[in-house]
Structure 1
Amino acid sequence: MRNEKIGLAQESVKQAISHQLQELTSLEFLSVKAAAKLLGTSNKIVYTMIRSGRLKATNLSVRKTVINRADIDNLFALPDMPDERKPNSSNLSDCCHMGEAQQLYNISEKALCDIIKRYQIPKYQVGWYTYVLKIHLDNIFNPGGHHA
């Protein structure tokens, strides 16, 4: 008998909480307390997010701060990732690996790495070797276009 009453009470509490959350999701503007309940955090955390600028809010009066529901949804939106695809590195006939470049231009490994960094030449890792486009190196070592 007692366990049944406890079970019924727990069910009614769960239903009341889910009903409150459904009401909160339907509102366009939320108070700090309602936003904290919706996010499952404390009021203090919501105020910290407002102060840090992560969450936009408006003070209607000294004691009333409202938050737009869309701003809360934007907290969970993923930022757009830039599409940084490498150029087609499958055609390795236009490239030479680092060892070939050292022999071809008669420079040390350190000098080649420094030049690649300085001129921001793209490198391509294919298996064990790192490849660089010959055109880029030719433009640096042979600016007149004459190959050594």
Structure 2
Amino acid sequence: MGFSQLKIPKICEQCGKPFEAKTVVTRFCGSACANKSGKEKKRQQKEAEKKQTILEQSAEKIAQMQTRPYISITEATILFGISKNTIHRLIKAGKVPAFNLGERLTRVSRKHLEEMFTAVEIPEEPKEKPMKLHYEIDECYTVTEVSVKYGVSPSTVENTIRRNSIPKRQVGNYVYVPKEQIDKIFAGK
């Protein structure tokens, strides 16, 4: 089998430096980058496995916390994803009932926290009809036509198009903008 004379310009996936590859499937500039990439991939895999084992171990504890009417502040931070300072502020304001059973043994009402931090549905606003983005040339003005029709300078027309995000289309030397949107803007002035 003969060697290929190909020299394919590529960028190393590990270090980001350009190099010339001799095959289509080459991903790294050398063995050092390939080794680093392999080690990083193994490290990420170990981290993912570690996170999964922690989740499996804590699933039982979380299930137990969800059945108790009063939980500790640390457990509340885990369950509801809020900071300890927020919980202390709510207790001080009297919004969440809490009982102090001793030093570092403050318990808060899980039921009240659930009521405060449940998802609130926000009603969707009625959607406006979608604006047409592809206009035919007969449905459009050129910038010059707009400036002549409304008696403004071409630069004012360009600024208005840019400010109002009006879609424009260039064909050759002419820039076309939709008649209906231009008429709405300049008729009101």
TM class by smaller structure: 0.3 to 0.5
TM-score using structure 2 length: 0.35
Task: Determine which structure has greater relative contact order: mean sequence separation of CA pairs < 8 Å that are 6+ residues apart, divided by chain length.
Answer: 1
What's the TM-score, normalizing by structure 1?
0.43
